[in-house]
Copies of this chain bind each other. A is one copy, B any other.
Amino acid sequence: MTTDKGSTRYHHGNLRPTLLSVARALLEEGGPTALSLREIGRRAGVSAPAAYHYFNSLDAIAAALAEQGFAELGESIDAALAGPRSHLLAGGIAYVAFARSNPGLYRLMFGEGFQAYSKGNEEIRTLRMRVYRQMKDDLEKRLAPGDVPNAALFLWSLTHGLALLMIDGQVEAGADPDAKVEEILRLVGMGLPAAR
């Protein structure tokens, strides 16, 4: 959904998705710290009280955005794991691709900028655990039960770290970032001889 800044008025009925859509655009423009209820209201062309009717705090809108993000990330991983290339690698590639396509949202989903409103947001923590469980469920089909927890944390750490380093522009990914991600994730299966 696109909005013409300040020039459009919405029926109350569809204001919630409009506010979320506007907030998400703002998030991708300026990162989690750029979120502001006043600016969201301004861009949606509604008064602050109208916006407050739907989200009574920045925390509430951030939590709703994170929920949206985790739902999309979960679907994306599910689709990758169920795809023709049914392989752990596909899940990891989908994970990093989601973060790269939604850098502001991904940072928010991991609490960045949240500190100001509600750091230990339990709701977000629960959503994060759902993605973790998704990885674990897949690993349970492939590994001995005792190996699953560490393998899942290993994979999550790797994909989370790689996603953030790429989002931060800290990594020279070259002309084809997807190929770079795949090269890195292939090392999961091979291991590094140097670390033996």
Contacts and interface: CB of A to CB of B under 8 A. Distances in A.
Interface of A: 30-34, 87-89, 110-113, 115-116, 119-120, 125, 128-129, 132, 139, 142-143, 150-151, 153-162, 164-165, 168-171, 180, 183-196
Q: Report how many copies the assembly holds.
A: 2
| Interface class of chain A by DSSP | helix
Contacts of A115: 30-34, 113
8 contacts: A31-B119, A33-B115, A112-B112, A125-B170, A153-B180, A154-B184, A154-B187, A189-B194
Contacts of A128: 170
Given A33-B113, A115-B30, A161 B168 contact: no
Contacts of A185: 195
A150 to B, nearest CB: 5
B112 A142 contact: no
A81 to B, nearest CB: 12
Nearest to A167: B111
Contact of A165 (B34, B143, B160, B194): B160
